[in-house]
Structure 1
């Protein structure tokens, strides 16, 4: 199951939040606080996945092909590219909280999926045991 793809030529990473076969996007929009992240919004108004350019892409590249991406707890699913960095700022949109290790929302650290994400079978397959 591919949850993260990385293309070296344009240095672009893509992270699927929905299963790729259900990833029928209605529109794309830039994350308001960080122009290196482009959101793909599905027909239900939820994030289907997102593209990372520049630093976010480089940080996500090592996760390409990994079968376990998320950590799950009572708050939802969590993905971190900077395991030991403290989170200094967050931005929530469409049920996804993007986390940054700086106060200016530029140093991508990962994201959290809240309880409204109803794709638990897909996410559970990608979760640490």
Structure 2
């Protein structure tokens, strides 16, 4: 491979890394009410499934509200308790208050279930009409 070919490949690899880093930053957007966790929304014939990425958040530190045509998930990611002083080298995970509001598709919904495993909250909303 020629030097110019390696340079092109290296430039493409660096551009891909920059895009990946930008997407990661965008996934945890800060807002006026805290940071917003990323979500996935899937729809079945009868239900709406919402997956909220909340690694490190305890179930008792989050709240789910369904009403007025939207789903709201809010809570707090707390700093880990350290038994000794520590010097910070990098902080990429957002901490503190979070809130994510999701406008729901037209119709009435009720909270059918919620499951929290592997750092993800799975919310099942049942369509009532």
- For this structure pair, what is the TM-score category when the shorter chain's length is used for normalisation? under 0.3
Higher relative contact order (CA 8 A, sep 6+): 2
Q: Compare the two structures and name the one with the higher helix fraction.
A: 2
Query: Computing the radius of gyration over CA atoms, which structure comes out larger, 1 or 2?
Result: 2
Q: Give me the TM-score of the superposition, normalised by structure 2.
A: 0.27
Q: Give me the TM-score of the superposition, normalised by structure 1.
A: 0.27
